[in-house]
Amino acid sequence: MLVIISAWFSLFVTTVLAPSKHLWALVTTQGFFIAFFSVHWFLLQDFNFSNSLFYIDKFSAPLAILTCWLFPLTMLASQSKIRLEPVNRQRTYIANSTFLQLMTLLAFTTSDLMLFFIFFEASLLPTMIMITRWGAQEQRLEAGTYLAFYTMVGAVPLLIWFTEFYSTHGSVFPTLTNTLHITQATMNYPGLFWVAYNLAFLVKLPMYCLHLWLPKAHVEAPIAGSMILAGTLLKLGGYGILRTSPLIQENTINQALPIMLIAIFGVLTTALLCLRQTDLKSLIAMSSVSHMNLVIAAALISSPWSYAGAMAMMIAHGLTSSALFCLANSFYERTNSRTMILLRGALIAFPLAGAWWLTIILYNMALPPTINFAGEMLIMASLYGWSPLAFLIVALNLIFTTAYTLYVLWTTQRSSLPKHIKTLYPYQTREHLLLFLHILPGFLLILKPELIFP
């Protein structure tokens, strides 16, 4: 554990000292090494490896590995654009994204909830810097403000609750909760309490109604920012809910029924909203909201199946939406536009990229032999167990998901190239490799899905 964390720190050394010619190659290679060695956490998760600082169990290990895995991919993805900048800016870019991923990783693997809170909030800072410093348009400042305010407002009740918990029980180790026999003081409004202390996580995920910051942040962020945001930062919220849920005893679902309704409604609405988007990146962001609301619903049901579904969904979505952002970015780099109508006819120019689009979008749609399908199945099954009506509503979502999936595919791939496009440079091997490395884990995991089921 410590070895991998120190390897992460050595990335900073590489960033500062590497000769500018080999900077990206060195950082990416080192990232892949770290990712490779982090896979051994899968072996530790069954024994619930824990000490006073690190805690690896079936909730944290898959997400931690995902974080390590996405880092070299973000470096692969951002090379072509950032390389054109002065060397010092390249270095700060790499240092900032390393810092961001490191904070996320530490938040996933720390065993103390107070430290979790600190890392959870610390990830906000580099995200803000990435968006406001390397974003594309001037609206990025607004996006940064939204991000900061939503996140910080959510954080206050969480901090109060953690300190309160610490002062009554003298400890904030989730490992100890089995032995603590928590007796909750009877509260007047248990549902309100649930919402208040989970607000930080609900904002991060984000729940429908609190999601306003997400499309903005995604649209403005540079590619590495988008990938990390969709891939791992949103999962911090889901992880937080799953991790802290044993700390409150009562059956949560009846307390938080309004949240459940909002989540179910949000799944449908955001899927419908996707059909009305013109901006490719904001469509992908909306589809993230839709998927993450399913995770909220699953976390509220809190049965073994729904937890397994939520975990599978988070991992699958981390890979898929990150891949979708890579595809959107590769178009953006060539045409300088995110508007879908200006990207049409890409199949003629890039047939192989068309195949990637098809594959990844089918992943996003949760077609059977993918891990996305496993996650969605489990969540749907546990929803049915809770209420057949809720199941029916979410089943409608499948139709809308298919609809917007086809909508993306049709608008970007079909018909003829727009007239104003004169030059397009071909896809590089780097980009094909990047997309392949996103798809590969999603496929491999379905061969042994127990790895990510808690």
Ligand X SMILES: *[C@@H]1O[C@H](CO)[C@@H](O)[C@H](O)[C@H]1NC(C)=O
Piece of 90-98, 191-199, 215-223, 324-332 that binds ligand X (CB under 6 A): 90-98
Q: Does 96 bind ligand X (CB under 6 A)?
A: yes
Question: Is the CB of 102 or the CB of 262 nearer to ligand X?
Answer: 102
Q: Does 370 bind ligand X (CB under 6 A)?
A: no
Alpha carbons 176 and 182: distance in angstroms, whole number: 10
- Residues 75 and 27: beta-carbon distance below 8 Å: yes
Question: Is the CB of 129 or the CB of 234 nearer to ligand X?
Answer: 129
Instruction: Count residues near ligand X (CB under 6 A).
Output: 6
Which residue of 59, 69, 71, 99 would you call a contact of ligand X, by CB under 6 A?
99
Least CB distance from residue 175 to ligand X, whole Å? 31
C-alpha distances out from residue 429 to 69, 311, 346, 377, Å: 19, 32, 18, 35
- Letters for 114-143 (x = contact with ligand X by CB under 6 A, - = none) are ---------------x---x----------
Q: Does 95 bind ligand X (CB under 6 A)?
A: yes
Which residue of 48, 92, 303, 337 would you call a contact of ligand X, by CB under 6 A?
92
Alpha helices (runs of H) in 350-428, residue ranges in sequence order = 351-364, 371-386, 388-413
Query: Where is 415: in which H helix or E strand?
Result: none
Least CB distance from residue 103 to ligand X, whole Å? 10
Least CB distance from residue 106 to ligand X, whole Å? 14
The residue whose two tokens read 């890409």 is 346
Piece of 93-101, 245-253, 286-294, 404-412 that binds ligand X (CB under 6 A): 93-101
Alpha carbons 443 and 54: distance in angstroms, whole number: 29
- Residues 283 and 277: beta-carbon distance below 8 Å: yes
Q: Does 104 bind ligand X (CB under 6 A)?
A: no
Residues 6+ apart with CB under 8 A from 281: 215, 218, 219, 226, 325, 328, 332, 338
Q: Does 320 bind ligand X (CB under 6 A)?
A: no
Least CB distance from residue 100 to ligand X, whole Å? 9
Piece of 95-103, 186-194, 407-415, 430-438 that binds ligand X (CB under 6 A): 95-103
- Strand 49-50 and strand 55-56: the pairing is antiparallel
Residues 6+ apart with CB under 8 A from 70: 101, 227, 228, 231, 232, 318, 322
Amino acid at 169: H
Question: Is the CB of 129 or the CB of 256 nearer to ligand X?
Answer: 129
List interacting residues with ligand X (CB under 6 A).
92, 95-96, 99, 129, 133
